[in-house]
Amino acid sequence: MARFQFIFTFIPILITIITLTTNPRVLCLDSEPDSFSIIDYDSNLIFHQDYSPPAPPPPPPHPPSASCTDDLGGIGSIDTVCQIVADVNLTRDVYIEGKGDFNIHPGVRFHCPNFGCSITINISGNFNISVNSSIVTGTFELVANNASFFNGSVVNTTGLAGDPPPQTSGTPQGLEGAGGGHGGRGACCLLDKEKLPEDIWGGDAYSWSSLQDPWSYGSKGGSTSKEVDYGGAGGGRVKMKVKEYLVVDGAILADGGCGGVKGGGGSGGSILLKAYKM
Ligand SMILES: *[C@@H]1O[C@H](CO)[C@@H](O)[C@H](O)[C@H]1NC(C)=O
Ligand SMILES: *[C@@H]1O[C@H](CO)[C@@H](O)[C@H](O)[C@H]1NC(C)=O
Ligand SMILES: *[C@@H]1O[C@H](CO)[C@@H](O)[C@H](O)[C@H]1NC(C)=O
Ligand SMILES: *[C@@H]1O[C@H](CO)[C@@H](O)[C@H](O)[C@H]1NC(C)=O
Ligand SMILES: *[C@@H]1O[C@H](CO)[C@@H](O)[C@H](O)[C@H]1NC(C)=O
Ligand SMILES: *[C@@H]1O[C@H](CO)[C@@H](O)[C@H](O)[C@H]1NC(C)=O
Ligand SMILES: *[C@@H]1O[C@H](CO)[C@@H](O)[C@H](O)[C@H]1NC(C)=O
C-alpha cells in the first residue's frame, strides 16, 4: 500500500520534472516571450520549498508632493520651474512630483542627514544640480527627463543607511570589529591568532538575489566593545531613471561608514542609474 502511494505521487513529480526540462517556459508567468529569468517565476507553482527571497511588499502610496515654496523654501513651482536657491535642512522624508524642471543653485546644500531619510524627485522636466551643491540623505531617487550634475556637486548617501532587509541584518555577530556584509560577506578582522581567517567572517550576504536591481542599504560593521557600538553605518541608496540624457560631472556616493580603529566598516549601499544616454 505504501509503495503504491509512493508511485502515485512519484509519477506526477516525474512528469513535472520532464516538462520542466523540455519546456522551461512553463515556469514563466507573464514575462516577455523571449526572456527567461530564474528570478521571474513563481516557485510555489512547482517547488514545495521556497528558494526565492520573499517578494518585497508593494510600495506605500506616495504622499502628496511637497511644495516648492512652502516646504522647500524655493522659487517657482514644481509644475513649471522650481529653483532651490538656499540651503534646505530636511528632518523627514520628502516626495517631490510635478511636470516641470527642478534646479539646485550653486553651493546649495539640500540635506536630510538622518539614517534612512528619503528624498524622491519625480518630475517630467529636467533636473540639474549646480557646481559645489550637495544632496545628503539616506535614499535619493530621481525620475526626470534630463539630469545634470555639475562639477563639484555630490549626492552623498555615505553611512546613512536605514534598516537592511528583514531576512538577515548583514551585521557581524562577534566582537572582532569585522566588516558589514551586503552582496558578499563582510571582511574578517583577525585579531585572535588561534583562529583561521575562515572562522571569523564579517556580516552575512543578504542582497545577492537583487543585485540586478540593487535597492538595498549597506549594513553596519561590527564593534570591538559590548557597550559601545563602534561599527561604521551602512551606505545609502541612489536610484535614477532618466529618460534622455544623464550627465554626471560630480560624485554619486553610497559608501559604507568608517568604523575607525575600534570598529568594522559598514558595507556600501546601492546605486542604480538608467538613462537613454550617459
Ligand atoms: C541648515 O544647516 C546649516 C548647518 O548644517 C546651517 O548653517 C544653515 O543655516 C541651516 N539652514 C536653514 C535654512 O536652516
Ligand atoms: C540648470 O539650471 C539653471 C538655473 O539654476 C539654468 O539656468 C540652466 O539653464 C540649467 N542648465 C541645464 C543644462 O539644464
Ligand atoms: C512618478 O510619478 C508617476 C506619475 O504620478 C508614478 O506613476 C510613478 O510611480 C512615480 N515614480 C516614482 C519613482 O515615484
Ligand atoms: C566651487 O568650489 C571650488 C573649490 O572649493 C572653488 O574653487 C570654486 O570657486 C567654487 N565654484 C563656485 C561656482 O562656487
Ligand atoms: C535633453 O538634453 C539634450 C542634450 O542636452 C537636449 O538636446 C534635449 O533638448 C533635452 N531635452 C529637454 C526636454 O530639455
Ligand atoms: C572641476 O572642479 C575642480 C575643483 O573643484 C577643478 O579642479 C576642475 O578644473 C573643474 N573642472 C571643470 C571642467 O570645470
Ligand atoms: C560624504 O559623506 C561622508 C560621511 O558624512 C563624508 O565623510 C564625506 O567626506 C562626504 N563626501 C563628499 C565628497 O562630500
> Considering the chain, what percentage of its residues have pLDDT values greater than 90?
60
What per-residue confidence (pLDDT) applies to 51? 58
Average pLDDT of the residues in 16-21:
36
* CB within 8 Å of 254: residues ≥ 6 apart: 157, 158, 218, 235, 236, 237, 238, 268, 269, 270, 271
Residue nearest to atom 13 of ligand 6 (CA): 151
Domain boundaries, the chain: 75-156, 161-235+256-269
Rounded Cα gap, residues 172 and 223, in angstroms = 9
Dump pLDDT digits (tens) for 110-138. 999 999 999 999 999 999 999 999 999 99
Per-residue confidence band for 52, with pLDDT thresholds at 50, 70 and 90: low
C-alpha cell at 141: 531617487
The ligand minimizing its distance to the Cα of 152 is 6
CA of 131 to the centre of ligand 6 (A): 9
C-alpha angle 66/118/180, rounded to 5°? Answer: 175
Rounded Cα gap, residues 125 and 222, in angstroms = 43
CA of 179 to the centre of ligand 3 (A): 36
Ligand 2, pocket-test mutation among 110, 128, 244, 247, most atoms within 8 A of CB: 128
Regarding the beta carbon of 107 and ligand 6, being less than 6 Å apart is answered: no
Cell 524622491, residue?
Answer: 120
Closest CA to 159 of 261, 262, 233: 233
Maximum CA extent, the chain? 81
What per-residue confidence (pLDDT) applies to 210? 84
CA of 151 to the centre of ligand 6 (A): 6
C-alpha angle 179/182/187, rounded to 5°? Answer: 30
What per-residue confidence (pLDDT) applies to 41? 45
Lowest mean pLDDT among 30-44, 113-127, 249-263: 30-44
- Give the atom of ligand 3 at the shortest distance from the alpha carbon of 95: 14
Question: Is the distance from CB of 139 to CB of 119 less than 8 angstroms?
Answer: yes
Question: Is the distance from CB of 164 to CB of 270 less than 8 angstroms?
Answer: no
CA of 231 to the centre of ligand 7 (A): 17
- Give the atom of ligand 5 at the shortest distance from the alpha carbon of 125: 13
